[in-house]
Structure 1
Amino acid sequence: FWDEAVALAPAQLAAVCGERRLSYAEADALAGELAVGLQRTAGKASPLVAVCLPNSMEYFLIYWALVKIGGVIVPVNPWLKEDSLDAILATVQPDVLIVQGRGDKEIVTSAGKRPSLPVFSLDKDAVFADFASLFVAGATPIREDLPEDSPSIIMHTSGTTAAPKGAVMRHSDLIFNVMTTINAQGFRRGDIHLLVNPMFHCTALYSSLPAAAHQQCPVIITAETQPDALLDLIQRERVSTFLTVPAILQRLVALPNLARYDLSSLRVIGYAGSFMPVKTVRRLQELFPEVALHNFFGLTETISATHVLHGDASLERPDSIGRTLPFVTARIVREDGSECGPDEVGELLFARENVISGYWGQPGRLDEALVEMDGRQWFRTGDLASKDAEGFAFIKGRKKDMIIVGGENVFAAEVEAALMLLDNVKEVAVKGIVATGVRESLGELIKAYVVAEPGSGLSEVDLRRHCHKVLPSYKIPHVITFMDALPRNPAGKVMKNELV
């Protein structure tokens, strides 16, 4: 993709970050110089490079430098704690580590335990080698022929209870991902893509960067997450596609001054990564009636997005993740492995060919989640889901989040969605707790942890009155606790194990 874009559209804008703008030819020249430095530092033609950075032009150049030479990029979340970073570096054993600077204390401490690991920093920092020194002018990188199943990205999972696992994305998987991304999002030549999703997450490296290169389009890179700044950027750069997470869109629709921005260039807003409140979808529909809204779904372990909801379906079923994409096979099964009927909740499975080849440095680990059914292997996601008669899927939460109240199954995600319908609820988490005392016979009780909108005056009475309108009696929370914020891991997922 990259070489073709450089050959066919050398003068076309490839990337913008802040005041810096690079054409495909300019970016290719810099990526080539950087590739030489990485090869020489690592002492091999296809180095394995760990990158612990925020979104930046440097990240863009590192990504394409490694793609050019068949290297492997290991995106590292800068918000991870030392123990997780220790586990990643111990398992991956990178040839090079690139960081922002000594201010990144957790990764710096972890790297310090590996004195032989070359560390480069973007900041001018005497402690580490200067990132700029990796650019070797006038030299050509070594390019070897690689099998299609060679690894390209090691993307670590963001589970809430276990050490991260390194999902291996191959070059051939990226080609498949580009096809599904263009299909799912309706990308086309001439688009200008806003890259606000963290570049250490799947969407940016699996989808946005390679799809943009395939269609010879520019990406507008930013580490900004404040809605005003993002809208300024959309207006200034005439952005046409905006893929992000629900939390950013929730803040965006709350702005009182949207009318002052010229957002007429925008034609696609996509969101994924966590639950999107229906009220936010409805507000987006009101504010951007001419913009296509896409809810897309996938896992770190799937080699592409697996579902997408768009068009009129986003108006009719705003809580759905949509239908499966072409060449993606999924099924929803009962405990005994039999297929669930329409609207019946079961575990979501994906066909083996839609899933990564394995976890880096952990042979056999992926096999633990595989099951054979009808002569075919399937990946067990641990997600509970249902599918209606027209094929639209709905995520009901993690299997471990199902609460059994007096023999009745209650899905935490369903209760959370109901509570989020109330305007004064900012965020909420629901989990099961052990029933005691006079209610001991119920087995479990439903406990809701609620963060109210500031200054709303939301009370428990308000919540219970609302729940009685929208939920059957056995799904109404027995216990309600108000919190200032929900505990989250570095990937933004709610840490329900920390809720007491």
Structure 2
Amino acid sequence: MKEKLESLSVSELLYRAYQLEPEKEVLFDGYSRMTYGELMDQSCLLAASLQKMGISKGDRIAVCLPNWNEFVVIYFAAAHIGAVIVPFNTRYRMYEVQYNIRNSGAKLAFFTNEFDGVNHMEQFLEAKENVTSLKQLITVRYKADQLESYEQIIKGEEVCTSFNRTAVNPKKDVFTILFTSGSTGSPKGAMLTHANVVMTAIKTAEQMDCTAEDVFFVSVPVFHVFGMVPSILSAVSVGARMVLLDEYKPEKALSLTESEKITVKHGVPTMFILELNHKNFHQYDLSSLRTGIIAAAPCPVEIVKRIRQEMGCEIMVAYGLSETSPTLTMTSFSDSDVVRAETVGKALPGAEVKIVDNNRNEVMNGEVGEIACRSFGVMKGYCNMPEHTKAVLDEDGWFYTGDLGTIDIEGNLRIVGRKKEMVVRGGYNIYPREIEEVFYQHPDVMEAAVVGLPDTVLGEISCACITLKPHSQMDEKDLFQFIRERIADYKVPDKMIILDEFPMTASGKIKKISLREELIENLEGELR
């Protein structure tokens, strides 16, 4: 049965769950509830409408929505017709939206009017004017003149189950393109096939012993790989139920955990820290909790202990990237608190992980090197970036992550650092080079360096250090205003410092390690 499941497409995986129990509730997003039968009906209606609009196999569909049931319907509608879903972070600004549309070649976009303080309507209207591939705009949960709405599209007089379902080759055909910024500063679209996401979803669910009785809490964003695969698709793979939270608030998360009897709770460490430390934490009955995944940032051993003891949740720690769909390694129920906190467990069955040196030769256990992997979840490649793909994916299928780690004698992977200078702030990846290049667009900026600083709540925060050109009158407030208008809010540096000069190497490069050490020492009283 397992082998048969793993050979299915995303569409076929939903169809199997629908056939088993069509009347069972599949999701609740705080606004409405939906059964597997209703999800199948609505996704088929939408798929038929998309076909009438000219969307066919391989076409890209941009989706910029929070954790709403419409995202899930679009997710499976795209799968039914072999279209490729391209999720957009709801915090993206104009440059990011247009770059991703242009790179992916998206023909159609779903978006809401405003969310997270961002005017999506304005951004997508302008994108349609500037990017030739984008032909159609569809609004969700609001109506606009001269634009079609999601509500109009899925209203059909009859339930459409006999549309032209498109056959896909799960191992070759792309299901989603997930944009992930790189150390080069240029976002790259990781192309994940149906087999990548289906197999990863199934194996992740198996590692957690998930069944149809489980209730998944989806508080991580659905536009992120953590929400798309180990959350949405893992739940569907076992015929479970999902509860979606569109705007994370710790007390709301605690309340839903109690009222909806959540059993599988995924999150980044910051979410668990905020809930455990909430003043009303002990007022909530969390006895339904069984397990879940904590990922995307290091988690202190004290927090792992508190999740297990105070929440009664056998939490698992996982590691992966967008390029690996994402789950690559996971701890197990038998692992101790220390193993769960200090390592990210072992490779999932069917996946391989090794540590290599700068020449990509495997090193001995315990030695630090770059983490390389070969698995069912490794992407097909980067969209329209063959050279970038070739740089990280070799002919034997090994993907080189850019992360540094060690493997102990028991096979547990330990993350040591990052070859890329990525900052992980509350589970969000921030790539310094991308932000630095935006600063360099300002005529008064001479040099810019963004580094991560330790933070007990978010894991890391970002700090931008700037040197200005002679006679500039700019101050930190001006720089904040400049950068805030150009990038997503979670990428905006938490701290801004104007320096007279940077510590430099003999070759003229900024010594970021020295800079970070100096900042930690000088800001000791300000850091949490």
Q: TM-score range by the shorter chain?
A: 0.7 to 0.9
Indicate which of 15, 35, 46 corresponds to 1:34.
Answer: 46
Contact persistence 1:447–1:480 (CA under 8 A) = no
Residue 264 (structure 1) aligned with residue 287 (structure 2): yes
Look up the match of 2:329. Answer: 307
Unaligned runs of 5+ in 2: 1-12, 423-450, 466-500
Contact persistence 1:434–1:445 (CA under 8 A) = no
Query: How do 1:134-145 residues align onto structure 2 when only pairs under 5 Å count?
Result: 134-137=153-156, 138=158, 139=160, 140-145=162-167
What is the total number of aligned residue pairs between the two structures?
438
Contact persistence 2:257–2:286 (CA under 8 A) = yes
Contact persistence 1:42–1:95 (CA under 8 A) = no
- Partner amino acid for 1:356? M
Contact persistence 1:15–1:21 (CA under 8 A) = yes
Secondary structure, aligned partner of 1:42: coil
Name the CA distance, whole Å, in 1 between partners of 2:268 and 2:174: 27
Indicate which of 111, 124, 128 corresponds to 1:111.
Answer: 128
Look up the match of 1:11. Answer: 23
Query: How do 1:441-460 residues align onto structure 2 when only pairs under 5 Å count?
Result: 446-448=514-516
Name the CA distance, whole Å, in 2 between partners of 1:12 and 1:130: 28
Look up the match of 2:473. Answer: none
Secondary structure, aligned partner of 2:176: strand
1:484, distance to aligned residue in structure 2 (A): 7.3
Look up the match of 2:373. Answer: 350
Secondary structure, aligned partner of 1:3: helix
Name the CA distance, whole Å, in 2 between partners of 1:66 and 1:480: 51
Q: TM-score if structure 2 supplies the norm length?
A: 0.75
Unaligned runs of 5+ in 1: 403-415, 449-474, 487-500
Distance verdict in 2 for CA 1:478–1:176, change over 3 Å = closer
Secondary structure, aligned partner of 1:172: helix
Residue 361 (structure 1) aligned with residue 361 (structure 2): no
Contact persistence 1:124–1:130 (CA under 8 A) = yes
Name the CA distance, whole Å, in 1 between partners of 2:193 and 2:56: 19
Distance verdict in 2 for CA 1:399–1:124, change over 3 Å = same
Residue 70 (structure 1) aligned with residue 82 (structure 2): yes
1:154, distance to aligned residue in structure 2 (A): 1.1
Cα deviation per residue 1:220-276 (whole Å; 9 max; x = unaligned)?
111131110011111111110011112211211211222211111111131112232
Residue 253 (structure 1) aligned with residue 276 (structure 2): yes
Indicate which of 65, 87, 90 corresponds to 1:53.
Answer: 65
Name the CA distance, whole Å, in 2 between partners of 1:253 and 1:182: 25
Q: TM-score if structure 1 supplies the norm length?
A: 0.79
1:43, distance to aligned residue in structure 2 (A): 4.7
Name the CA distance, whole Å, in 2 between partners of 1:82 and 1:400: 26
Look up the match of 2:418. Answer: 398
Contact persistence 1:401–1:431 (CA under 8 A) = no
1:282, distance to aligned residue in structure 2 (A): 3.3
Query: How do 1:209-220 residues align onto structure 2 when only pairs under 5 Å count?
Result: 209-220=232-243
Distance verdict in 2 for CA 1:314–1:37, change over 3 Å = farther
- Partner amino acid for 1:23? T
Secondary structure, aligned partner of 1:244: coil
Contact persistence 1:277–1:417 (CA under 8 A) = no
Look up the match of 1:337. Answer: 360
- Partner amino acid for 1:234? T
Distance verdict in 2 for CA 1:191–1:400, change over 3 Å = closer
1:278, distance to aligned residue in structure 2 (A): 3.5
Residue 176 (structure 1) aligned with residue 199 (structure 2): yes
Look up the match of 1:481. Answer: 523
- Partner amino acid for 1:144? T
1:399, distance to aligned residue in structure 2 (A): 1.4
Distance verdict in 2 for CA 1:326–1:82, change over 3 Å = same
Look up the match of 1:21. Answer: 33
Contact persistence 1:37–1:136 (CA under 8 A) = no
- Amino-acid identity (%): 24
Query: How do 1:112-127 residues align onto structure 2 when only pairs under 5 Å count?
Result: 112-114=129-131, 117-122=135-140, 123-126=142-145
Secondary structure, aligned partner of 2:415: strand
Distance verdict in 2 for CA 1:314–1:73, change over 3 Å = farther
Report the aligned-residue RMSD: 3.2
1:477, distance to aligned residue in structure 2 (A): 7.6
Distance verdict in 2 for CA 1:277–1:208, change over 3 Å = same
Contact persistence 1:33–1:135 (CA under 8 A) = yes
Distance verdict in 2 for CA 1:447–1:34, change over 3 Å = same
Distance verdict in 2 for CA 1:445–1:89, change over 3 Å = closer
